[in-house]
Structure 1
Amino acid sequence: MNSSVEPSELANKVFAGIKGGILPDGIKEENVIYFDSREESLNAVESGLADYGYGNTFSVAYYSLLNGYKNIITIPRGIEPREYGIAIKSDDLILVSILNKSIDLIDPNQLHAVILEASTKIDRKITFSMIMDEYWIEISISVGLVFSIILISFLYNLRTNKQLKLQNKKYEALAHISNEFFYQYDFTSDNFQVSYQGRELFNSESDLYKAISILKEALKNLDAENCNMNIRVPLENGEVKVLRSINYCVMDERKHIVSIIGKLSDISKEEAEKEDLLFKAQIDGLTCLYNAETTRKLISERLDFVGDGEQDAFILIDCDDFKEINDSYGHLTGNTVLKKLAEVLKAAFRKADIIGRIGGDDFCVYMMKIPSVDFVKQRFEGLDTPFVTVSTGIVLINEQCSFEEMFKKADEALYQAKGSGKGKVVIYEEKKGNRL
């Protein structure tokens, strides 16, 4: 019977019957709803679809334990006489007779207890209400913890947003009193904001948008521990603007960058001055060729990467009787001769070749990936060196070697060239003697 129904008021209540079953005395047909099984009739009473029903002790106990009914109460009506038997699949009548006689010999109370015990040994269905009844304290604590974590995270994000707004106000104030490019980049929304003053760094809107695009790509790969960097922006007029990016990274609780606030300063002039100083540090002041230190450095770097099947050439050049020019015409004339020789070498060799003055009237050229020895010789054919002739020692490089090894071989070839007369060219050959 449903727990909401009074036992004394069943006259016009809905009865849960079983299809094919016999209605108990006093039950009106119009008050009956039929179900396919005992379990369905009990479910109907549990849900309130029906008000009450009848069932034997064993089936009611079985389904009550199985489904965990909460809205059904049972009221004993009386003890009905029952007969019990064991069904078997085979048609062995003798076996059936033996089993039934065995049952008849069991005490009725003992038999009733055995059947009741067997009917209650079942695997109960686990329902949400059963779980809540059993673990409502643990579930409540877990839900409370999850809610607390969400609330704390929300409050933390709210606080972070307030901090960002405060920082933005500070940067806006700085933007009004400076001519620097202030910006904020939000990683989540991919939103990039710039200060109005920053637009004055560029001559056109297209240059501004190009700078923003380059900066955004650089910020996406930014290292939180090294936030500052330089970017180079090609302008419409062909110039390149160098900008210094100084950044502050806003991190979340997992130490991930969520936003970057920074500024750009135009350091093009400073970078140009720095590059000019670097260039001057690498160049010989008289001839505008590479100086000895830079020449050695560049050639050594190339020697470390000479590949199989490649052939380079190192050329050592010395002016013949240059001391006589200085003694006869003075050092100013000697310097003029050296400058003219440098111009001739620049015109004769490729732009990719390393040409340097390594001291006094000594010059060298390093040619990378030459097609043949004749290609090197052709550089000296018709070489117009005013007021002076030059002696030349050449060494071919087919494998990695040190600068010292290479220079020593070229120096040997140069020594032989000078000993053979003025304006001679000697190519170094291993164990064969050098050849003119």
Structure 2
Amino acid sequence: MCTENHDKYFKKIFEFLPCGIFLMKLDDDLTLQYANRYFYHLFGSGQDEEGENRFRQLRLLVLPEDFVKLFGQIHDFVERRQRSFDVMFRGLYGSGEIFWMTMRCLWLAEKPDSLIGVISDAGEHRATNEQLRVSLEETRLAFQLTDKMMYTYYVEDRRLCLPQKAADEFGLPTVIQDVPYSIVEEDLIAAESRKAYIEFYEDMIKGKPNGQATVRKRRKDGSFGWYSAKYSLICNWEGKPQRGIIACEDISEQYEKELAYQKWCQYFASQKKNRIGCYEYNLTQNSFDEESSSKPPLSRYGNSYTETMTYIAEYLVAAEDRTMFNRFFDRERLLQRYREGQCHMRLEYRWISDRGDKLWARATIQLLKEQFTSDVKLFIVIHDITGEKKHEEEIRCRLEEDMLTGALNRITFHEKVREVLRRDDFYGQHALLILDIDHFKGINDSLGHQFGDQVLGDSAAILKRELRKDDLCGRIGGDEFMVFLNDVPSEKELEPRIAQICKSLTRCYEGYGTVSCSMGITFYPKDGIWFEELYQKADLALYEAKHSGRSCYKFYRMPFEQNSQNVC
């Protein structure tokens, strides 16, 4: 096939291609030697004689101020002998409308005075780019108006670009290489979050389209915070990952709330034994939220937290604990405790059961910020600890009591008497008694220790029976007992009671004989204000009772100190 036929064949193909094809001479007017049908169409003209006349020079189709620049660009590329290049200019449509055009040119060294090329409407392309630019700018501004930060991760070279705000917060440059590994090596990620952090970026490297992670990161000031990050991956035309667009947000406050709430739920689930109920209130709103209870709901006692607690204190809490209960559950006080950082508290109190029994309860409370607002929530778990209290009392009694007689042991008796004497608001008098069993050594030696133990136990039982609730009885050692009579009348008024105690302690054992005791009495504050002083003077009075024939009692008198001597 000859060259002329070739040219006709290719020109015929060019006529139907959906782009403008041209052959242009490199003269001052950029004269067009050939243009296909689509070329005419792009400029709003038909492929007729008028169109052909108009398309003889590119100068006539380009905005005058753009032609000078276009002409210079083309000749610059040719002078540098660049084989192919792109240029952009504003063209004139047949109707006079201005639009953007893109021209891709091919310069052949074997035909240096001409260019062959393809021309297309760049308006749509420029509009798309402009729309993308505006969209990116809007996204950037939107991120600035929120607490979120936008990062860009370049997958191929493992490069992360940070906004200045994020770089300042973490003390990092705005461009970081070898991410995620360099960040982990710098110890910027908490140990428990390192795996999640690495997987987040490795998912992008693997081409996973979307992903998210919550990690704990170290800030520039050394503190740690929780951050939630999500990414969307941008791939090239071959589907290979190019860039990850990451949105990162500081969720420390919210995450800590969620952790605290989860910990409370775990605690609640673990505290099922002896649990009376679990209750949830919004202290800020003074409102009831939820409950989980095997007992009647607290919400039946009022419509608000304050009403409910007022009712409970008045009708369900023992009178002696009511003031303490009201103070502990006072709404304003709890809110103040929360502001001061005190969020976990306990209270043990006595409550009245439906049958009227007085039982023990332990209220454990937790103050937390509500997960999605700034309201302060109050969580209450109440346990029945009556059995626990009884066990504690049994242990306490075993530690405080003399094992043989059940009376207080020497140390406990001394401590309890000292506690009473230390009171500053008491203006009456107390009495301290020392007594021992007459001729007890002889009883033990002749009748045996078993009978001696029986006598000691009976004596302690008699003393307890004769004493009031606030009086104290203790075994000091051997056959010696001490009695503390709390808040007594005058010596004259008290004497009949002393005589009755002494008489009750004198009893007859069939087959063994009569057992009696001797007793010395002193008064606070007349005879002394310290325990040791009262003890010493009561002991002198006891000596006087023994010296007077035993089986009697004596009140302390000053001359006793001058005549005291040991009596067997």
What range is the shorter-chain TM-score in?
0.5 to 0.7
For residue 286 of structure 2, what is the aligned residue in structure 1?
A: 190
Q: CA deviation at 1:292?
A: 1.3
Q: Give secondary structure in 1 for the equivalent of 2:522.
A: strand
The CA deviation string for residues 228-270 of structure 1, in whole angstroms up to 9 with x for no partner, is 3333322122333333333332259xxx982222423333222
Q: CA deviation at 1:282?
A: 1.7
For residue 199 of structure 1, what is the aligned residue in structure 2?
A: 294
Distance 1:350 1:368, change over 3 A: same
Q: Give secondary structure in 1 for the equivalent of 2:434.
A: strand
Q: CA deviation at 1:345?
A: 1.8
> Residues 201 and 266 of structure 1 are in contact (CA less than 8 Å); yes or no, is this contact kept in structure 2?
no
> Residues 247 and 262 of structure 1 are in contact (CA less than 8 Å); yes or no, is this contact kept in structure 2?
yes
Q: AA paired with 1:374?
A: K
Q: AA paired with 1:337?
A: V
For residue 419 of structure 1, what is the aligned residue in structure 2?
A: 547
Of residues 400, 415, 431, the one that matches 1:297 is: 415
Q: CA deviation at 1:295?
A: 1.0
The CA deviation string for residues 86-115 of structure 1, in whole angstroms up to 9 with x for no partner, is xxxxxxxxxxxxxxxxxxxxxxxxxxxxxx
CA RMSD, Structure 1 to Structure 2 (Å): 4.4
Q: AA paired with 1:390?
A: C
Of residues 478, 493, 502, the one that matches 1:375 is: 493
1:395 aligned to 2:395?
A: no
Distance 1:168 1:402, change over 3 A: same
Distance 1:257 1:397, change over 3 A: farther
For residue 457 of structure 2, what is the aligned residue in structure 1?
A: 339
1:246 aligned to 2:342?
A: no
Distance 1:251 1:278, change over 3 A: same
Scaled by the length of structure 1, the TM-score of the pair is: 0.53
Q: Give secondary structure in 2 for the equivalent of 1:368.
A: strand
Give the 5 Å matches for 1:296-335: 296-305=414-423, 310-335=428-453
For residue 382 of structure 2, what is the aligned residue in structure 1?
A: 264
Q: Give secondary structure in 1 for the equivalent of 2:535.
A: helix
Give the 5 Å matches for 1:154-303: 163=257, 167=261, 171=265, 178=272, 180=275, 181-196=277-292, 198-200=293-295, 210=312, 218-220=328-330, 221-222=333-334, 223-224=337-338, 225=342, 226-251=344-369, 258-303=376-421
Distance 1:397 1:241, change over 3 A: closer
Q: AA paired with 1:406?
A: L
> Residues 308 and 398 of structure 1 are in contact (CA less than 8 Å); yes or no, is this contact kept in structure 2?
no
1:355 aligned to 2:450?
A: no
Q: CA deviation at 1:278?
A: 1.0
Q: AA paired with 1:311?
A: Q
Q: Is there any run of 5+ residues in structure 2 with no aligned partner, and where?
A: 1-144, 147-248, 302-307, 318-324, 508-513, 564-568
Scaled by the length of structure 2, the TM-score of the pair is: 0.42
> Residues 260 and 368 of structure 2 are in contact (CA less than 8 Å); yes or no, is this contact kept in structure 1?
no
> Residues 322 and 334 of structure 1 are in contact (CA less than 8 Å); yes or no, is this contact kept in structure 2?
yes
The whole-number CA distance in structure 2 between the counterparts of 1:393 and 1:292 is 17
Q: CA deviation at 1:217?
A: 6.0
The whole-number CA distance in structure 1 between the counterparts of 2:258 and 2:375 is 13
The whole-number CA distance in structure 2 between the counterparts of 1:292 and 1:169 is 47
Larger relative strand fraction: 2
> Residues 268 and 381 of structure 2 are in contact (CA less than 8 Å); yes or no, is this contact kept in structure 1?
no
> Residues 171 and 182 of structure 1 are in contact (CA less than 8 Å); yes or no, is this contact kept in structure 2?
no
Q: Percent identity?
A: 27
> Residues 312 and 366 of structure 1 are in contact (CA less than 8 Å); yes or no, is this contact kept in structure 2?
yes
The whole-number CA distance in structure 2 between the counterparts of 1:284 and 1:259 is 49
Q: CA deviation at 1:164?
A: 6.5
> Residues 285 and 375 of structure 2 are in contact (CA less than 8 Å); yes or no, is this contact kept in structure 1?
no
Q: Which has the higher contact order (CA 8 A, sep 6+)?
A: 1
The whole-number CA distance in structure 1 between the counterparts of 2:429 and 2:459 is 26
Distance 1:193 1:282, change over 3 A: farther
The whole-number CA distance in structure 2 between the counterparts of 1:192 and 1:161 is 24
Q: AA paired with 2:551?
A: G
Distance 1:174 1:248, change over 3 A: closer
The whole-number CA distance in structure 2 between the counterparts of 1:421 and 1:322 is 15
Larger relative helix fraction: 1
The whole-number CA distance in structure 1 between the counterparts of 2:494 and 2:366 is 56
> Residues 320 and 390 of structure 1 are in contact (CA less than 8 Å); yes or no, is this contact kept in structure 2?
yes
Q: AA paired with 2:284?
A: T
Q: CA deviation at 1:320?
A: 0.6
1:410 aligned to 2:538?
A: yes
Q: CA deviation at 1:434?
A: 8.7
